[in-house]
Amino acid sequence: MTHDRLFDMPLLPHLIIDGLNRYDDRPFLFLGDTTVTYAEVRAQASRFAQALASKGVEKGSRTAILSANRPEVLYNLCANMVLGSCNTPLHPLGSAEDQAYVLEDAGIETLVYDAAYFGQRAAELEERVPGLKNLLGFGPSDAGEDLNALAATYEPRPLVAPDIGANDLNTIVYTGGTTGRPKGVRQPYRSAAYMTMVQTAEWEWPEEIRFLIATPLSHAAAAFVVPTLQAGGAFVALQGFTPDLFFDAIEQHRITSTFLVPVMIYPLLDHPRAETADLSSLETLFYGASPMSPSRLKEGVEKWGQIFFQCFGQSEAPMALTHLKKKEHDLSKPERFASCGRPSPWVHLALLDDENQPVAEGEAGEICVRAPLVMEGYNGLPEQTEEAFAGGWLHTGDVGRFDDDGYLYIVDRKKDMIVTGGFNVFPREIEDVISAHPPVAMVAVVGVPEEKWGEAVKAVVVLKPGHEGSEELADEIKAAVKEAKGAVQAPKSVDFVAQIPLSALGKPDKKALRKQFWGDQERGVN
């Protein structure tokens, strides 16, 4: 008699099916004029799963999705879970070249796409990627088959979880990467299940969840689907992001929770409706994915109250490594606004030196973690995987330090560190000083080539509406950094720009920014 399955934990397919089965006529998704109930999602998930299965999609199959926000994205997500396939989201704003690279690298056989927006792109990808067997559109298009029509030919059946284990592959997610090609992060089913457990245990969810999805459903939704489902909550999905769309949705649907990346929060704070919109229903604003300017965060708390909840993680160990709770966004402790909170008690987290040894108390070290949510490794990259797992820890590439109260501060990305005249300079610390300057809306600091020092510190600044760049303002910014951090950290130059390049995930794209100054020349810093 074997007890192999005795200790299996419920995984995302089990949790999603369980949540969908609990309710019938309750609304699950509002999108434009469409309202979809739990019963409808359940029925459509079954139809889509049967349609995909008829095309050969089964446990372990490699599928991808490319779509704007529409209800079918959720049906497809649930259908993939029911089948136990490995699904990779393609970013809607990505280039054809990047998308083709991901499809080839992940060995995708079935591409599901939004026929209304991506029919042309799907045809192009079919030409570029010989391994693609199925092109299935949400609606008719010239490129592939109509998945909606195919799904409509099936009768809904009860949803049954696939026979999968914790270490079976759930998704391959592609990181923006600070160097070269994006890396495929292989996330097994245990990763999302454990992340969800931590979220449910530690995160501050409203009692009634009406969750606004302002980011691509294909990417962001997975992290919030299960907690929302389990609470019988509903999603409201935007089909684009502008301050007006955002404020309208909160007022109209009495939104209680949302997730935003910092570059989405800044234009909201700068908008006239930041003061006038009725945000009284909004209980929790989750934010993360990139560091937020402490001064702008403080401004947010002053305007909207203690509704902010920060989460920190990365694709290799998603979202739940540390968190800064709502009450910890405390205006009487302004220094804490630069922190990413305390480590989750469900995760082993250590600051290690280059020899994988713990650093002395108060010193900066690389943030390294151990937990069931850690990835299996990078797809087809054994050396990078080995490097990431050196010493039996996942190396995040982020450098951090703890304060006396156990709060973690991310000093910077290891790769973004600037070495100028032999001194190590962390751009994040400089950005925090500059972003506190009243006219500054957003800033990115990079190292640029400099003959004498190797690299010089450059600040690239976007100003708030109504402000103009000048030599005088540049001098003020340099002086502010010099006073706060010393002469080595002070920018040698300040550029005022209309916008900073962003990665597909809405983070300032330092790689693209540096390329403007370095071209193809090799940086001295690895």
Instruction: Compute the residue count for the chain.
Output: 526
Residues 42 and 76 occupy one common structural domain = yes
Q: Judge contact between 286 and 203, C-beta under 8 A.
A: yes
CATH of residue 406's domain is 3.40.50.12780
Cα angle vertex 38, ends 34, 259, to 5°? 70
Residues 339 and 432 occupy one common structural domain = no
Count of structural domains within the chain: 3
Residues 288 and 425 occupy one common structural domain = no
What is the distance, to the nearest Å, from the Cα of residue 147 to the centroid of all Cα atoms in its chain? 28
Residues 275 and 384 occupy one common structural domain = yes
Per-residue pLDDT, 180: 57
Per-residue pLDDT, 523: 43
Rounded to an integer, the average pLDDT of 174-197 is: 83
Residues 407 and 430 occupy one common structural domain = no
Average pLDDT over the chain reads 91
Per-residue pLDDT, 221: 59
What is the distance, to the nearest Å, from the Cα of residue 30 to the centroid of all Cα atoms in its chain? 22
Residues 126 and 197 occupy one common structural domain = no
Q: Judge contact between 229 and 200, C-beta under 8 A.
A: no
Q: Convert the pLDDT of each residue in 355-411 to its tens digit.
A: 999 999 999 999 999 999 999 999 999 999 999 999 999 999 989 999 999 999 988
Residues 312 and 398 occupy one common structural domain = yes
Residue 32 included in any domain: no
Domain that holds residue 455: 417-518
CATH of residue 457's domain is 3.30.300.30
Residues 404 and 442 occupy one common structural domain = no
Q: What does the block give as tokens for 206? A: 């409203």
Residues 393 and 445 occupy one common structural domain = no
Q: What does the block give as tokens for 276? A: 């006038």
Residues 238 and 129 occupy one common structural domain = no
Distance CA 388, CA 371 (A): 14
Residues 332 and 356 occupy one common structural domain = yes
Distance CA 54, CA 85 (A): 14
Distance CA 340, CA 407 (A): 7
Residue 377 included in any domain: yes
Per-residue pLDDT, 97: 86
**How many CB atoms sit inside 10 A of residue 203's CB?**
18
Q: Is it the case that residue 138 has pLDDT exceeding 50? A: yes
Q: Is it the case that residue 179 has pLDDT exceeding 50? A: no
Q: Convert the pLDDT of each residue in 27-85 to its tens digit.
A: 999 998 999 999 999 999 999 999 999 999 999 999 999 999 999 999 999 999 999 99
Q: Judge contact between 24 and 41, C-beta under 8 A.
A: no
Residues 269 and 340 occupy one common structural domain = yes
Residue with tokens 């330090």: 401
Distance CA 248, CA 237 (A): 12
